[in-house]
Structure 1
Amino acid sequence: MATLALVSTICPDRVGLVSGITGHLFSLGINLRDASFAALGTGAEFSAVCELPDSLTTAEVESGLASLPELAGARIEVTPYRFDPDPGPQATITHRVEVSGGDQPGLIARLSEIFTEFAANIVRLDAQTLPDREGERYTVRFSVWLPADRAEVCLSAVANTAETLGLACRAEAVPEAG
């Protein structure tokens, strides 16, 4: 059985970053499982659960990544992954919710509390400040698993909260993968 490791990097954002990291991992015979990349201001973060060949150590992977020009100035960590890599049913995205408008301190905390109240699981979260004609627009996108019997009331609560704050809210069900 392959060794599971979490590869995590944070560094200045630059063109070719994902290609450099994933190409290097592939050249080592590493298989990527769940992976995530995000530009965060002028920085960037990449993380992935990886299957390492038995002949490869986490230290060797970390050292190899540190030698990449794309990762100059990066913080790189490669550590054993001790969780089950196979997602459970609550990791299946059933709905996508986007709330946008002016920045509201505490917005993510407030919306995530609503999801918790309705037994929803946040699978992915993305928040950005984007340029807009009026200045800036803050957008939060949630990809969530919602229990079918609570989905409608949960989405109504999110929409009502957004409306109370003067924000736009859009929600959509994700079609089941066939």
Structure 2
Amino acid sequence: MAGLALVSTFCPDRVGLVSGITGHLFDQGINLRDVTFAVMGSGAEFSAVCELPGGVSVEDLHASLAATPELAGAQIKVTPFDFDPNPGPLGLITHRVAVSGGDQPGLIARLSEVFGQFGANIVRLDAQTLPDREGGRYTIRFAVSIPAERAAACLATVANTAESLGLTSQAEAV
């Protein structure tokens, strides 16, 4: 198998950022495995596990990304990826859960504890403050792997926890 690297960038958000990064990686002969992208405030974060073709080193990749116009002024980190690139059973998403309402300190911690109590693994997490007429709405989206025998109880506990905090929740099996 080709060498694996983790590419992480953080820079001001701009149109064409994902296209510029992924196009550059493609031009280098790099195959993408797991990829995430998120706008965070006025910044943007891109991370990917990359299969490096023979002859492309971590140092070479870092240098070429630093010269990419879309990444001007970006924080760029390229490191060897030493984990198995294939997700195990806990990396397979079984449910998507969204909780929304007013922002509250400790909200993500409290909800993530509920998942942990049921042996559920959080595979992806996205939280965002959204404007609305009341001055703001906080939305958290979880993609989780919940053991089948615990799914109903876990989702009911998440819904009850959300309701006790004055929040709404939605869940769907994938």
Instruction: Report TM bin, short chain.
Output: over 0.9
* Mapping 1:137-156, distance limit 5 Å: 137-156=137-156
- Give the aligned partner of residue 60 of structure 1: 60
Q: What's the % identity of the aligned pairs?
A: 72
TM-score normalised to the size of structure 2? 0.99
* Paired residue secondary structure (1:21): helix
Partner AA of 1:44 in structure 2: A
- Give the aligned partner of residue 127 of structure 1: 127
* Mapping 1:80-91, distance limit 5 Å: 80-91=80-91
Cα separation, 2, equivalents of 1:25 and 1:93: 27
The reply on whether 1:24 has 2:24 as its aligned counterpart is yes
TM-score normalised to the size of structure 1? 0.97
Q: Structure 2: 5+ residue runs without aligned partners?
A: none
Q: CA RMSD in A?
A: 0.6
Partner AA of 1:51 in structure 2: E
Cα separation, 1, equivalents of 2:167 and 2:47: 31
- Give the aligned partner of residue 13 of structure 1: 13
Cα separation, 2, equivalents of 1:112 and 1:11: 28
> When the two structures are aligned, how many residues end up with a matched partner?
174
Cα separation, 1, equivalents of 2:97 and 2:15: 29
Q: CA deviation at 1:54?
A: 1.4
Q: CA deviation at 1:159?
A: 0.5
Cα separation, 1, equivalents of 2:98 and 2:73: 33
- Give the aligned partner of residue 162 of structure 1: 162
Structure 1 runs of 4+ aligned residues shifted over 6 Å read none
Cα separation, 1, equivalents of 2:100 and 2:78: 35
- Give the aligned partner of residue 102 of structure 1: 102
